Amino acid sequence: MTNMVLIERKAGYAIVTLNRPEALNALSDRLRSDLNAAMRSLAEDGDVRVVILTGSGRAFCAGLDLKEIAEKGFPKFGDADLADPVRSVASFPGPVIVAVNGHAITGGFELALAGDVILASENASFADTHARVGAMPGWGLSQRLSRLIGVNRAKELSLTCRFVPAQEAERWGIVNRVVEPDRLLETAEEMAQAMLATAPGMIERLKAVIDDGYLLTLGEGLALEGERAQRFNEGARPA
C-alpha cells in the first residue's frame, strides 16, 4: 500500500510530502490520519526542529476528498477531531515551512495557511471554493485569511471562489516568496538551515511568543513578551 505521507529526515529538519498525486493530494480520512501521525512523530523527535511541508505531483493539496464525503459525509470539526490537518501541523513546536508546489484549494489553502512561512512555486495558485461546492470552512480559513490580507480581500476570494496565482498571492501577503519550480525545495531547505543556525531553543520560543501574542491585544501581547523575556533572560549567560 502506498504511503500517503512521506517523511525524509535530514540534519535538524524533515521534509513531509503529501503523497496522493493521482487525487491532487486530496485530504482523505487516511491521508489526514497519516499526516497527524507524521507531525506527532516529528514533534517527539528531538533531532527535528524544522519541518518543510509540500505535495507530490502537480498540486499541493486540493482540499477534502469530495468522493469520500459523498459516501461518508463531512468530517467532524473542532477540538476533538484528531485528524484535523491544521491542528496536526500546529502540533509541531518548531517552524513549519510550507512549500506550495501547485494548487492549494479550499482545505488545501487552509493547510497552507497553517504554516509559519509559505513559499510558492511560480506554478502555485490559491483558491477558496467552499461557496462553490456548498460547504462551510472548518479549519480556520474564514478567520486566518481575513487577518492575513484584510477583510475585504478575504471576502473577495471566498465569495467569488477565484484562483489567485502565486505572484498575486505574494503581492497580497498570502505567501512570503515566489520561486522557480525547480528551486522550491532548495529554497525551503536553505531557509530551514538558516533557522537551525540560531541558538538552541530560540526558534521554538520565538514562534510561541509570536503566535500567542497574535491572539491578544497589542497591550496584552507586549506584556506577554515582557514576561517571557524576563523569565528567560534571567537565566542567560554571557557566553
**Contact status, residue 96 vs residue 149, Cβ threshold 8 Å:** no
**81-117 pLDDT per residue, tens:** 557 899 999 899 999 999 999 999 999 999 999 999 9
Question: Could you give the maximum distance between any two Cα atoms of the chain, in Å?
Answer: 62
* Residue 211 burial class via C-beta count within 10 angstroms: exposed 0-12, middle 13-18, buried 19 and up: exposed
Closest CA to 26 of 74, 73, 59: 59
**Contact status, residue 24 vs residue 57, Cβ threshold 8 Å:** yes
**Contact status, residue 76 vs residue 64, Cβ threshold 8 Å:** no
| Per-residue pLDDT at 73 exceeds 80 | no
pLDDT at 1: 58
**183-205 pLDDT per residue, tens:** 999 999 999 999 999 999 999 99
Average pLDDT, stretch 39-62? 96
Q: pTM surpassing 0.85?
A: yes
| Per-residue pLDDT at 122 exceeds 70 | yes
Cell numbers given for 182? 525547480
pLDDT at 99: 98
Average pLDDT, stretch 167-172? 97
Rounded Cα gap, residues 193 and 66, in angstroms: 37
What percentage of the chain carries pLDDT values higher than 90?
83
